[in-house]
Amino acid sequence: MHSTLVRGQNVFGFFTTVAFSIAAVIAVSVFLFPQNPSAKLQMRNVQVVKGRPHYYSSKREEYAHVKFDLDMDLSSLYNWNTKQVFIWVTAKYPSESPTEPMTEAVIWDAILPSPSEPWHHNQYVHYKPSPSSSSRTLKSKKPSNGTPGILKLKGQRPKYQITDAAGKIAERANCTLELNWNVQPWVGALTWTNRGDYGLWKGLTGGRSKSFDFPGLKSKGEAAGATKEEDLKTMKGAEANRGKPA
């Protein structure tokens, strides 16, 4: 007869095999859920000033402050295996040298958790539970943005300023804003922004702004008179609390 240790090892081996098989089925099942994400992204305002873009910056340099409007519907990315969706907006513009690749800088990001994800405060934009679906709705006054994956922002401040390796960014042309995402499941592989169609998964419709140019650098007098310090502040998390509704 087998010893207790051997029997325990056999039971544990059988358990891990079953657990792995179930996890594999769950991971593959997400491909059966159709996706049709859409978004409308528009640059609202852009300013270029010279100063220290970060508190830890050691020198003064030119940096751009971009506000934007975002109206997106990524609700189809959510299924029973979706834990959260990480989204970010980038600004892409040509580098100084034509032989170098496009320069890409992140100006804003957020985490959109699924309804089953525990509540978090910083960096998260939460959905609004149905009044009849959970008792926590009656006990909590936490801010929310509605259906998970649907987000509408107007005049949204950036979380990060745009700087360039050359230290100069004024009058750079052909910049566009782009929406990107990363779906983080409970089980399985991460999936990223898809702009093409793959079976039931349709590519993102929209999600790119019209091309725009960075304005010229304002003189010290113009900057002091026309640019308020409040206009150049960045977001520090808690987007659901501070974002302006569309």
Task: Name the residue ranges covered by the structural domains of the chain.
Answer: 1-32, 35-242
- The answer to whether 177 and 41 have CB atoms below 8 angstroms apart is yes
Which pLDDT value is given to residue 165? Answer: 84
**What is the pLDDT tens value at each position of the chain, 246 positions in all?**
578 887 788 788 877 887 777 777 777 778 888 999 999 999 999 999 988 877 777 788 899 999 999 999 999 999 989 999 999 999 999 988 878 889 999 999 999 988 877 666 655 676 665 554 443 333 333 444 567 899 999 999 999 999 988 888 998 999 999 999 999 999 888 999 998 888 889 999 999 999 999 998 865 445 545 556 667 778 765 443 344 433
Structure tokens at 6: 């051997």
Which pLDDT value is given to residue 36? Answer: 94
| CA atoms of 200 and 3, how far apart (whole Å) | 51
Which pLDDT value is given to residue 129? Answer: 56
Sequence-ordered list of residues with C-beta below 8 angstroms from that of 174, at least 6 positions apart, any chain: 93, 94, 211, 213
Which pLDDT value is given to residue 20? Answer: 75
* Residue whose structure tokens are 């090892």: 9
| CA atoms of 245 and 243, how far apart (whole Å) | 6
Which pLDDT value is given to residue 76? Answer: 94
Give the global pTM. Answer: 0.78
